[in-house]
Structure 1
Amino acid sequence: MSVLQIETAKIFQPLLAGARYKGAHGGRGSGKSHFFAGLLIEDSLAEAGLRSVCIREVQKSLKDSAKRLLEDKLAVCRLGEADGFRVFREVIETPGDGLITFQGMQDHTADSIKSLEGFKRAWVEEAQTLSTTSLALLRPTIRAPGSELWFSWNPRRKTDPVDVMLRGRELPTGATVVRANWSDNPWLPAELEQERRDCMRTDPDQYGHIWEGDYASVLSGAYYAASLTVARQENRIGRLARDPLMPIKAFWDIGVRDATAIWIAQFVGREIRVLDYYEAVRQPLGAHLEWLRSKDYGNAECYLPHDGSQEDAVTAIRFEDHIRSAGFFVTTVPNQGKGAAMKRVEAGRRLFPAIWFNAEPCSPGLDALGWYHEKHDEARNIGLGPDHDWSSHGADAFGLMCVAYEEPQKRPLVFPMRDMRWVV
């Protein structure tokens, strides 16, 4: 009897043992997908009748799936119909009437997901795109004895559901997770190595995310991408101390059904020093004010967008009046009119060279600025203005700060008049 031998990089060896959850995260060239494809074939050989599903959040066609990779692995391992593997257009049959199928989670509902009951392997590719809803549907569905859920991904944000689950403080019971990068791949092709070196040289701000598996700090093409890159190069993102003699200013984006964001800043000369950032989703106004007090910003001058003059749906009192009654000085910035969002972006880009950030407290806000981008209509190949997603709240509050900023005026020099006598 022949023995199947699949070469495995040392970094993936912990994933060879059985585990309810297996995760591999990291950058390009690590071999994550190749490892899981080989493991799926190995498990299908070891357990006759094994049913498995390869999953993506969105799968428009089989071109977006792992099917081609699995076919290539079967060819390399010289496995075919004589061994029980039969490749069809949409599925791969495995020994003992087993099956590998390919599906998109976005197409599933609470009822349709039941079709996966009895499956013992679920491999989620590009797991950074998996939504909270999809993850909540998938986990209890793959529940057959000895079943396993596998996740491979290049991290994008700390708050992505797969990162919260497999890189958070408390891992699920029976989870094995590894970080794998190009440096862990002993078979890294020379072509990929050259691509890596080129990326390091030509796109250093994206290098860490693409190749080292770091979280994305700047989205390519984002409105503030270039500005953030320059700010890091000039060391304007670091540690900042509060000036005890200068007033504290709080710039808001008010959220009722979504997030409220607040930037804390001081205007010192011609510099804007950003000290802190706050964001909370669907919390009452009192929670935001309590945060200001807890951080010793109780005397902050609060700047609100134009909707600060609107009435709270619960109390029928204007937001600005609520905040004033709590003891804060309030200014409501008038609406900038048509194209207000882009006017805020333009103001932000213009002032960015004069802005300094307190890195650690502002980290979530910097993530938002690095992500804030234009919504694109692919069919017509046109831009539709700023995309209103998770990043827009922090970006709008930042833009409000830049719109409200007034550059200090130079005072004329005044010299004291000396006693002068006129001689005729």
Structure 2
Amino acid sequence: MTVPQLLLPPKLVPVFTGEAMYRGAYGGRGSAKTRSFAKMTAVRAMMWALEGREGIVLCAREFMNSLADSSFAEVKAAIASEKWLADFFDVGETYIRTKCRRISYVFAGLRHNLDSIKSKAKILLLWVDEAEPVSDLAWTVTIPTVREEGAEIWVTWNPMRKKSATHKRFRETPPEGSKIIQLNWTDNPFFPKILNTTRLDDLKNRPDEYEWVWGGAFRTFVKGAYYSKALIEAKKRIDFVPLDPLMQVRAYFDIGGTGARADAVAIWVCQFVGQKINVLDYYEAQGQELSVHLAWLRSRGWGKAWCVLPHDGAHGDKVFATSYESAIREAGFDVFVIPNQGQGAASARIETARRLFPRVFFNKDTTEEGREALGWYHEKKSTDPERDIGLGPNHDWSSHCADAFGLMCIHYDQPDGAPPPRDRYRDRRSSSGGGSWQSA
């Protein structure tokens, strides 16, 4: 009897041996992780069918509008690559199943199909490919649907952000007994020469993204990010930044509102020391009350910070009949509100921040999340492939951080040796504060 030969990157062999409910691999391009996991889904389906079991292999991604967006092509190619697998499966234009009909593949997107996935029965294997953007809600709803005896969950992804739900769930605190490894092109003995040519070209011409694309590192910059060059040049200014006890501490807000669906609130804490902007701390939270943000300021030692708000800080909150300005003042903080900068305010913040970036010094240990967001903040482009049209800053998870950072730079920016004009910035400091803006 001929024993089938199964070619896998050697580093993956321990992942698929022995018992485990969770198996997975993360890393950069060219590692063969997707093709290997696709092939192993077929091996598992074949084993279960031979055992007489019935059920489905659910292949999911976060986004799927059609089979073209799914793992269908990968599974089909993986089965075709091994004759002994191809002989066992019935592969059509829109379906894959064992010829005995015991095991069938189902392909689904998680973002808009959570209710239908909850109702699926006899899931023997859930494989989520390109899992980086899968939300915590999707994982929370989907994982309990895998409840057959001996069923497994497989996850493959290219890392992008430390804050992603997939990273936190399967890499930062992986489930007990899981077998999840990092796999890169260097671990793939079948790495093709033509792909190596592409890799070397990226190393030479796109070094900023090389480690993310090929090395499995987190993405530091997005192509076209406003501050990518400035952050690269700022590496020597990312170190321990001490608090100057003689200078005023300032907290610059971007206001997201309250409630679970509100945008995030971002806060940069800094001091203006001579010609330097010393950034001491960064904070971001979503769906929390204002009291939580102020409690964070106090817990970090910033209880005497001057809170600087954008113009909407003087407006009533959509949920509560009060304003951030009045509420923060009532909590004992001094408050400044910068007036509406008018049309083109976002561009003004970006250009001012770019110009002042050489003066910015970041405290390394407390500003990492903020620097990550700045490296992501980028322009939104037209969806028309024939027209390279910029549509202004993309409003995503990074924009709240970037807006607060831009507010800080706008507030710093003034004629040398002169206070800002009174019609430019309004002093909203409480009467208990003492001193003036320029004395800070």
TM-score (norm 2): 0.86
- Kept in 1, the 8 Å contact 2:24–2:181? The answer is yes
SS of corresponding position for 1:93:
strand
2:23 maps to a residue whose letter is K
Q: 178, 189, 192: which one pairs with 1:189?
A: 192
Q: Would you say 1:150 and 2:154 are equivalent positions?
A: yes
Q: Which runs of 5+ in 2 are unaligned?
A: 419-440
- Kept in 2, the 8 Å contact 1:324–1:330? The answer is yes
Mapping of 1:133-212 within 5 angstroms? 133-169=137-173, 171-212=174-215
What residue is the counterpart of 2:272 in the other structure?
Answer: 267
Change in CA separation of 1:154 and 1:296 when aligned onto 2, cut-off 3 Å:
same
Paired with 1:115 and 1:86, the residues of 2 have a C-alpha distance of 25
Q: Would you say 1:307 and 2:308 are equivalent positions?
A: no
Between structure 1 and structure 2, the one with the greater Rg is: 1
Paired with 1:279 and 1:317, the residues of 2 have a C-alpha distance of 22
Report the CA distance between 1:321 and its aligned residue: 2.2
Mapping of 1:17-416 within 5 angstroms? 17-48=18-49, 49=54, 51-79=56-84, 83-97=87-101, 98-110=103-115, 112-114=116-118, 116-169=120-173, 171-232=174-235, 235-256=236-257, 257-312=262-317, 316-379=321-384, 381=387, 382-407=389-414, 409=416
Change in CA separation of 1:293 and 1:137 when aligned onto 2, cut-off 3 Å:
closer
Report the CA distance between 1:408 and its aligned residue: 6.4
Change in CA separation of 1:206 and 1:86 when aligned onto 2, cut-off 3 Å:
same
What residue is the counterpart of 1:415 in the other structure?
Answer: none
2:190 maps to a residue whose letter is W
What residue is the counterpart of 1:4 in the other structure?
Answer: 4
1:93 maps to a residue whose letter is R
Report the CA distance between 1:71 and its aligned residue: 2.6
Paired with 1:99 and 1:216, the residues of 2 have a C-alpha distance of 36
1:392 maps to a residue whose letter is S
2:34 maps to a residue whose letter is S
- Kept in 1, the 8 Å contact 2:277–2:359? The answer is yes
- Kept in 2, the 8 Å contact 1:270–1:407? The answer is no
Change in CA separation of 1:164 and 1:267 when aligned onto 2, cut-off 3 Å:
same
1:212 maps to a residue whose letter is G
Paired with 1:161 and 1:226, the residues of 2 have a C-alpha distance of 28
Report the CA distance between 1:351 and its aligned residue: 1.4
- Kept in 2, the 8 Å contact 1:90–1:102? The answer is no
SS of corresponding position for 2:143:
helix
Paired with 2:361 and 2:67, the residues of 1 have a C-alpha distance of 47
- Kept in 1, the 8 Å contact 2:118–2:141? The answer is no
Deviations 1:41-75 (A, max 9, x none): 21122121452122111123323332222232223
Report the CA distance between 1:313 and its aligned residue: 5.2
Paired with 2:246 and 2:415, the residues of 1 have a C-alpha distance of 16
What residue is the counterpart of 2:432 in the other structure?
Answer: none
Percent identity between the aligned chains?
43
What residue is the counterpart of 2:437 in the other structure?
Answer: none
TM-score (norm 1): 0.89
Report the CA distance between 1:115 and its aligned residue: 5.0
Paired with 1:130 and 1:313, the residues of 2 have a C-alpha distance of 30
SS of corresponding position for 1:129:
coil
Change in CA separation of 1:90 and 1:127 when aligned onto 2, cut-off 3 Å:
same
